[in-house]
Amino acid sequence: DWKMSDFVGETIDSVRRQVGDATVICGLSGGVDSSVVASLIHKAIGDQLVCILVDNGLLRRNERQTIVATFRDHFHIDLRVVDWSQQFLAALQGVTEPQQKRKIIGAEFIAAFKSEAAKIPNARFLAQGTLYPDVIESGSKDGNPAANIKLHHNVGGLPAELGFELVEPLRDLFKDEVRLVGEHLGLPEDMVWRHPFPGPGLGVRIVGEVTPERLEVLRAADEILIDEIKAAGLYRQISQALAVLVPVSTVGVMGDERSYESVIALRAVETTDFMTADFSHIPYDVLGLISTRIINEVRGVNRVVYDVSSKPPATIEWE
Ligand code: XMP
């Protein structure tokens, strides 16, 4: 529609004016905001854009491959993947406290990003998916206190010490407008309508210690949850759905044997602003199907529970 093409056209002009012939770096997470920023800036300056994807080892199953397929193979964007997963997992060893996890993940992210950015000559600008609500929130000292309960380490949270000038083409937009821009730019539907996924990834969905084995359990459960929600046609109505690996073993029966295995908690919420949220009233038969599949297919899990808490007082994530 004409308003979208106006926005895209004007933004392309202003990005070109701002950056001249310098190189722009963009941290890509696979989320809506960074994806739209990358494709918008690529439209404006083509090969002057270099994207960096940090594989923190805490991504969903196939997430890295999907991002590479979309941006490198489909849009022909210069995308560098930094596999820093060993460093993240080593730094997280033995850590159970959520804020501590976030601090470690944030610090490793900066280290990974820095090391890759140093290989890019003539890089003067950093593109970020800052949205209008972020602009307002950081402008008000005592905005919504709930926003400050968790330390947020987004891709958008790279420190000023890196010395880049910022390019923030989405600063005037709300989330739903960003999705429309994404559709207009031809991003895949899966990407445009993707639920938010936290920067610390699966690291804050494994209550307790993050280990490679526990990550595999959670990845398998998460994939089943998302697949079945999509198959039931509920993905767009739900604002965010997630699986949590709980550090509790419970007793079950497997054939004639007693089992003593992990619990997976499912959470799905409906919200417009993520500051308050209601649990999603997913039909029991859909919950039943997800539960059966997880228990049958994911080794090490013998019980699935559904989280029926509202935010507040419960947050969306468990950590
Ligand atoms: P909570 O759990 O605070 O989550 O109700 C609200 C929204 O923020 C996301 N979230 C994060 N995003 N880094 C992020 O980038 C974080 O550390 C983080 N913690 C929570 C959460 O997924 C939800 O969309």
The CATH topology of domain 2-192 is: Rossmann fold (3.40.50)
Q: Which of 29, 58, 59, 317 to mutate to test the pocket of ligand 1 (most atoms within 8 A of CB)?
A: 317
Indicate the pTM of the whole model: 0.93
* Ligand 1 atom at minimum distance from 319 CA: 2
Q: How many CB atoms lie within 10 A of CB 67?
A: 24
- In a mutational test of the pocket of ligand 1, which residue from 104, 152, 267, 269 has the highest number of ligand atoms less than 8 Å from its CB? 152
Atom of ligand 1 nearest to the CA of 197: 22
Which contiguous run of DSSP H or E holds residue 132? helix 132-139
Q: 316 CB less than 6 Å from ligand 1?
A: yes
Does the beta carbon of 317 sit less than 6 angstroms from any atom of ligand 1?
A: yes
pLDDT tens, position by position, for the chain (319 residues)? 678 889 999 999 999 999 999 999 999 999 999 999 999 999 999 999 999 999 999 999 999 999 999 999 999 999 999 999 999 999 999 999 999 999 999 999 999 999 999 999 999 999 999 999 888 877 654 444 445 566 654 444 677 778 899 999 999 999 999 999 999 999 999 999 999 999 999 999 999 999 999 999 999 999 999 999 999 999 999 999 999 999 999 999 988 999 999 999 999 999 999 999 999 999 999 999 999 999 999 999 999 999 999 999 999 999 9
Q: How many CB atoms lie within 10 A of CB 43?
A: 16
- Give the up-direction half-sphere exposure of residue 179: CA atoms within 13 A in the CB hemisphere: 11
Q: Can you read off the two tokens belonging to residue 262?
A: 């992990």
Q: How far is the CA of 189 from the centre of ligand 1 (A)?
A: 23
Residue 30 labelled as part of a binding site: yes
**Does the domain at residues 205-306 carry the CATH identifier 3.40.50.170?**
no
The HSE-up count of residue 247 (CA atoms within 13 Å, CB side) is 12
Name which of 170, 121, 164 is nearest 14 in CA terms. Answer: 170
Any atom of ligand 1 within 6 Å of the Cβ of 311: yes
Q: Same CATH fold, 205-306 and 2-192?
A: no
Across 146-158, b (16+ Cβ under 10 Å) vs e yields eeeebbebbbbeb
Report the alpha-carbon distance of residue 283 to residue 106 in Å, rounded. 37
Question: Quick check: ipTM above 0.90?
Answer: yes
Chain mean position to CA 18: 28
In the chain, where are the structural domains located? 2-192, 205-306
Nearest atom in ligand 1 to the alpha carbon of residue 239 is: 24
29 is in an annotated binding site: yes
